[in-house]
Structure 1
Amino acid sequence: MTVALMWEARAVEGRGDELLTWARAQELAETPVRRETLRAPQDRVLVITWWDAEYDADLPELPEPGAGLVVRAVHRWRFEAVGE
């Protein structure tokens, strides 16, 4: 089964590039099948990791950024791939 973990954070205004750099530098305890980092308006950063694992597997996730870098807690979602 393929599981995708999504991690999304919104930086303090004007600190989007810093949040992007921080997220890209975070190493996980295990290597996912795929990892993609994206950004959006309002200084938002999204990291998606894909894993060959069961839906409820204990998988490594990016941590919360340090205080003062984000305006709210990180949003996290977990999805499973479905056949076409």
Structure 2
Amino acid sequence: MTVTLMWEAAAADDQGAELLDWARRQDLAGAPERVEYLTAPGDRVLVITWWDAPYGAELPELPDPPPDLVRRQVHRWRFVSVAVRS
């Protein structure tokens, strides 16, 4: 089973590049199958990690960034992959 963890944060004013850099420097305990970093308008940063694990497995997640880098609380979601199309 593949579990996907999504982590999304909205950067404080003009801190988007710094937030992305901070997220990319974080070490995750364990070895995800894949890690992807995305950005969106409004200086939002999204990090998606894929794990070979059951849905309820205890998995490492990115921590909360320093408060001066974000304008609101970090959002986190957990999903299970059901299909892949190319």
- Structure 2 residue 33 is the aligned partner of structure 1 residue 40: no
Q: Deviations over 1:1-55 (max 9, x none)?
A: 0000000000001100000000000000111000000001100000000000000
Instruction: Tell me the number of residue pairs that the alignment of Structure 1 and Structure 2 aligns.
Output: 84
Q: Does 1:67 align with 2:56?
A: no
Please, which runs of 5 or more residues in structure 1 have no aligned partner?
none
Query: Which residue does 1:17 correspond to in 2?
Result: 17
Give structure 1 regions of 4+ aligned residues with deviation exceeding 4 angstroms. Answer: none
Supply the RMSD in Å over aligned alpha carbons. Answer: 0.9
- TM-score when scaled to structure 1? 0.97
Match of 2:49 in 1: 49
Taking structure 2 as the reference length, the TM-score comes to 0.94
- How far off is 1:67 after superposition? 1.3
SS at match of 1:68: helix
One-letter amino acid of the structure 2 residue matched with residue 53 of structure 1:
A
Aligned-pair identity (%): 64
2:76 corresponds to: 76
CA distance in 1, matches of 2:83, 2:36: 21
